Structure 1
Amino acid sequence: MTTLGWEGWARDIAAIAAAHVTRIRGLLAQTRSAPARQFEVFLADLRGTLNDSITADEAIDTLAQHLVTRPVFEALFDGYDLVATNPVAAAMERMLATLDEHGPAAENETLESFYAAVRRRVRGVDNAEGRQRILVELYDQFFSVAFRRVADRLGIVYTPIEIVDFILRSADAVLRREFGQGLTDEGVHILDGFAGTGTFLVRLLQSGLIRPADLARKYARELHGNEILLLAHHIAGVNIQTTYTDLTGQPEHFPGLVLTDTFQPWHQSWQPGRLPSPPITVIVGNPPYSVGQASANDNNANERYPDLDEEIRRTYADRSTATNKNSLYNSYIRAIRWASLRIGDRGVIAFVTPNGLLDGNSTDGLRKSLADEFATIHVFDLGGDQKGDWRREGGKIFGAGSQVGICVIVLVRDRTRVPPASVHYGRVGDYLGREAKLARVAAAEDILTVASTAIVPNSQGDWLNQRSDTFLAYLALGDGGIFERHGRGYETGRDVWVYGSSAAGLRRVMRRATETYAGVLDGHATNDESLIKWTVTLQSLAKRRVPLPYDERPPVQATYRPFCPQWMYADRNWS
């Protein structure tokens, strides 16, 4: 894919899209102009067709993003009369036509050689899978490079086609084994709660898992998708509709796609005509992976979901023995909890997720809950964790999009069966590169045919690397054991700033930080981590305009973690 230069193209997009936003805002500022009047119509169409919470800023950003991607979009969907059958496409086209009439921007001309290469590539695609690969590669680069903050906040990672197809085949096979039904059968509703550009539903239509005689019914009533990003939602709708048109010759608008934050309305009544009211039998997809911003400097915090997070607290968190449970509010774990609530008494969940849930103390409560809530659990571990033995773990399934290991997990809910669940674990193999792993996934028929081992979880919720109960008989070091008092030492939110091996070096760092903080109080805001490390506490002090002058007292000696003597800057406001 490097021949198309996706990465170079994506790096150019951020600046070009920003220029489009500026141009559009300038046109809309003239409130009586044709663009301003057409924008009001456009925004009303979006709200009436998709979601009445769409803001003007979201609509403007989407227009700018679509202006940059439009040549690729037109190449991919050339020959389809989308305006006649797709209301969002029609509204978008009317708005873009008005913008084009009023000072068309020249920014895209710098990318014309790239667009020409894409057109040549698209003309050479002679199968449905090829078009999906281009879409996945395009929007993966689009969001992860050009709009990195959006990708990080929402945990956007687009799924390789091999993984998509494997999940769909596995959902069908498991559904047939457990309930004697397939994805094609009437009454089997299928939901992708994180639809992206629609790859899962498109590949399902193309897979042959749905019989030709069932396609019309499935498409009209039993396929559902949610997507939070307006541009991705638009692409998904067109992608699914054109696929159905290819298969049936009928250019029917796809009614099952909803612009919504899947985590937000999980507890509410489903609105007729918007969100699926029938019970969902199968949930498939690639949930977002995002535990939150890495630093307060990012100013890019995730959404909070009090109701859903309370469900996690009373289940996965309450049953965990971990001290720090923050990782349980990662978006992919929220997705598992949401799907567990949404699936009802009978059905299948098939996700590709980080494999951290399979082992470790922080997710022991999650594993205990899954074993109690589901009848059967199938896991296909694809490895790729870069924090451990990375050579053995092998290639990263999502490339640069993820540093964690990945697995496919299929959960079977059947309330008539007594817990705990039977757990089956298979692994793709060690020391394999990404392409070799994807080849093995593509060659596997489904998760039932993968060589696996039956696991009997122990009382601590261990699946892999089960601990020995022998250790429970040993005398503890703390908590009433050998040592009466113990601790982890003086902990801070910026250890690399307030601790140092050199007292002189520590003084230089903290002088710079306190000078930067003083500048912020004088109106010179910055998120530069080379100058200051923000935490919630420090931001609160700055908001209240509390001065923090440099402490001239010499640094003190402290024991760090807990056996390494270091110098420490002893102002607790910087802890």
Structure 2
Amino acid sequence: MTVENTARIKRQNERKISVIIGNPPYNAKQENFNQNNANQYYQEIDKRIKDTYIKYGKAQNQIVIYDMYTRFIRWATNRLSQNGIICFITNNSFIDAKAFDGFRKCISQEFSDIYVIDLGGNVRANPKLSGTVHNVFAIQTGVAIFILVKKNQDNQERCKVFYTRRPELETSEKKLEFLAKTKLNQLDFLHIIPDQNNNWINQTDNDFDSLLPLIDKEVKNGKAETAVFKLFSRGVVTQRDEWVYDLSLENLTEKIKYLISIYQNTLKDPDFQDKFTIKWDADLSQYLKRKISKSFSGQQIVKSLYRPYLKQYLYLDKHFNGRTYQWLTIYNDNDLENQYITFKSFGSNRPFNCLATNCVAELHVTGANQCLPLYTYNKKGDRI
């Protein structure tokens, strides 16, 4: 922080900014911890996201709201003066993703007009598309241009949302040609009135909202009572499948004993030479810093439904499995009569499907799944 740079930052912070334009990066989370590419934590921005986009959302899994592009939107919204415009080209998941319901509600309250130009190109949602042929950036993720207009605080009119979409199979070349030749006032926008669930598109006309929900995170948190299932869980995410799963009980036992021995030796000596022969992640490194000691227990090896037609042995352990969610409460190895319905969650692009199993379920059995137990257990292990 040189004197010149500090002075520049001070001048910029004192300026009134009325227009913010950009193409921020989009990366909700790294798929593999070995990529060593986790998003940086921005304390103030992430707190604002939690107090706004997360607070007003109803989705079960909201980690994607900390995507880098939503951080840029949150920062830009905070930084914009009383009257101003934000224009970004980003991931288009904010348009209809269930997890972004709170985001859509907040920006509708914070801005006067919202214009969305959906360029499509989401290869994961439509396998008929090709990133190099149909996506303007030749990537797998769908893309959208959006313009957020903020008028002065005296404006009490309801936010207007305008939406237009390019044809699904239009090539990227045609999309870019269209954008180069077309002015904003020439676009054929659809004026959208969000429904009570803050949906912009894919709105339905039915009585679902009057029915008893199957699951509800408010019920799970003890803040409400109206749901069929009080407790539910996502499938297990180990972050080191190759270490904690195996078809062979003997192979898994050997691997886990080795994993624990390396962990324990590193606990004694942080510079242990064989430290990186096992797979580390941020969580396991934190357990090491907290001096958590581990030992092998054969009782923690359980049967798991890894894929719809594949069972494997799993070493179920909250320290060596990245996320066990509620499984340590809904699974009891002394009660093998328990059963679970596992079904595709909202965040998955698979067609709806569900399975019943009597095993611990991995996250991708049915697609970013939710698991509903027949029984739960108290701290004594008694069936409820």
Q: What TM-score results when the alignment is normalised by the length of structure 2?
A: 0.68
- SS for the counterpart of 1:432 is coil
Greater RCO, CA 8 A, separation 6+: 2
| Among 29, 47, 60, the residue aligned to 2:2 | 47
> What is the Cα deviation at residue 340 of structure 1?
1.5
Q: Which has the larger radius of gyration?
A: 1
2:145 corresponds to = 408
Q: 1:442 to 1:419 in 2, by over 3 A?
A: same
1:351 corresponds to = 88
Q: CA contact under 8 A between 2:58 and 2:99: conserved in structure 1?
A: yes
> What is the Cα deviation at residue 470 of structure 1?
1.2
Whichever residue aligns with residue 137 of structure 2, its letter is F
Count of aligned pairs = 307
Deviates more, 1:336-345 or 1:531-540: 531-540
1:460 corresponds to = 197
Mapping of residues 378-527 of structure 1, within 5 Å: 378-392=115-129, 395-399=134-138, 402-415=139-152, 416-444=154-182, 446-478=183-215, 483=228, 486-488=231-233, 491-494=236-239, 496=241, 497-504=243-250, 506-507=252-253, 509-511=255-257, 513-518=259-264, 520-521=266-267, 522=269, 523-524=271-272
Deviates more, 1:335-344 or 1:406-415: 335-344
Higher strand share: 2
Identity over aligned pairs, percent? 29
> What is the Cα deviation at residue 514 of structure 1?
3.5
> CA-atom RMSD, angstroms?
3.3
Consecutive unaligned residues of structure 2, counting only runs of 5 or more, are 220-224, 322-384
2:302 corresponds to = 556
2:319 corresponds to = 573
Distance 1:420 1:526 in 2: 62
Distance 2:73 2:274 in 1: 37
Q: 1:504 to 1:465 in 2, by over 3 A?
A: farther
Q: CA contact under 8 A between 1:489 and 1:559: conserved in structure 2?
A: no
Higher helix share: 1
Q: 1:308 to 1:525 in 2, by over 3 A?
A: farther
- SS for the counterpart of 1:335 is helix
Q: 1:477 to 1:277 in 2, by over 3 A?
A: closer
Distance 2:248 2:206 in 1: 45
> What is the Cα deviation at residue 571 of structure 1?
3.4
Q: What TM-score results when the alignment is normalised by the length of structure 1?
A: 0.47
Q: 1:451 to 1:287 in 2, by over 3 A?
A: same
Deviates more, 1:290-299 or 1:420-429: 290-299
Q: 1:503 to 1:460 in 2, by over 3 A?
A: same
Q: 1:423 to 1:535 in 2, by over 3 A?
A: same
Distance 1:452 1:561 in 2: 43
- SS for the counterpart of 1:465 is coil
Whichever residue aligns with residue 286 of structure 1, its letter is N
Distance 1:489 1:332 in 2: 26
| Among 60, 69, 73, the residue aligned to 1:336 | 73
Q: CA contact under 8 A between 1:490 and 1:560: conserved in structure 2?
A: no
Offset from partner CA, 1:472-519 (integer Å, 9 cap, x none)? 222333555685554226734437343445545544653554454356
Distance 1:489 1:349 in 2: 36
Q: CA contact under 8 A between 2:300 and 2:317: conserved in structure 1?
A: no
Q: CA contact under 8 A between 2:39 and 2:68: conserved in structure 1?
A: no
Offset from partner CA, 1:248-295 (integer Å, 9 cap, x none)? xxxxxxxxxx6x6xxxxxxxxxx2xx3163422221111232335445
